[in-house]
Amino acid sequence: MLVYRKIPLSNTKDVSIFLGVIASLAGGMIVFRFSFFWEVMLAMIFLFLLLLIGWIDWHTGYILDQLTISGSLVIAGIQLVWNPSELSSKLVGSISIFLLLFLLAKTTNRLGQGDAKLMAMCALLMNWQSVLLAIWLASISGLIYLTIVSFRKKIGMRKYALPFGPHLAFGSFSSYLFGEQLNHLFSSEVVLSILSVHIL
């Protein structure tokens, strides 16, 4: 795909070994997290797509439509067979997320159109709260990475072009696996209880 689109790979440090370790750990978490075969299969496909999209964006700065669109079709197809009752609501959520992020990408230049398509694909598996959590986790991850890079290379954060795809992939997978627990952690009841303890 990269050769066909004449996209060169960058000379940045290869993270393939690190990627293999992450894939192994994430695959293990999937097996322990889900009980039904179709859920494990869907999660493994999702993990593969996120790793591939993140790796390509890390090396090229591109999120390829071939991966996000075909990934969306595969995910929707699996859900149509195994979980058809929720597919219509997931499609509506996916389209809504795409339109919102696409508008944000066009008006602010903070996100790319590929990022919007990636999150639309992720929304086929997650509710809107989990998608927002994924973006929040990706933002925190990206900020930490930018801070480390700016200190190591002694450059300003605004001068560094951050490939956001790997961070979105991390945030999406984390939210997909542990979204319920993390959403509960940041729920209004928990926050209010923590504040009340500190105030008293």
pLDDT of amino acid 47: 94
| Closest to 172 (Cα-Cα) out of 17, 4, 46, 10 | 46
pLDDT tens string for the chain (200 positions)?
555 555 565 555 555 677 778 888 899 999 888 888 889 999 999 999 999 999 889 888 889 999 999 999 999 999 899 889 999 999 999 999 999 999 988 888 778 889 999 999 999 999 888 998 999 999 999 889 888 887 777 665 555 667 899 999 999 999 999 887 776 665 555 444 544 444 44
* Amino acid making up residue 174: S
Contacts of 76 (CB under 8 A, 6+ apart): 87, 90, 91, 124
Q: At what angle do helices 65-82 and 113-122 cross, to 10 degrees?
A: 10
Q: What is the pTM of this model?
A: 0.82
Contacts of 56 (CB under 8 A, 6+ apart): 2, 62, 63, 64, 67, 165
Contacts of 166 (CB under 8 A, 6+ apart): 54, 55, 57, 58
Domain ranges of the chain: 16-199
Count of alpha carbons within 13 angstroms of residue 197, beta-carbon side = 5
The values of phi and psi at residue 107, to 5°, are: -90, -25
**How many whole angstroms separate alpha carbon 48 and alpha carbon 126?**
17
pLDDT of amino acid 185: 64
Task: Write out the two tokens for 76.
Answer: 């929707």
| Closest to 101 (Cα-Cα) out of 172, 46, 156, 160 | 172
Contacts of 112 (CB under 8 A, 6+ apart): 63, 105, 164
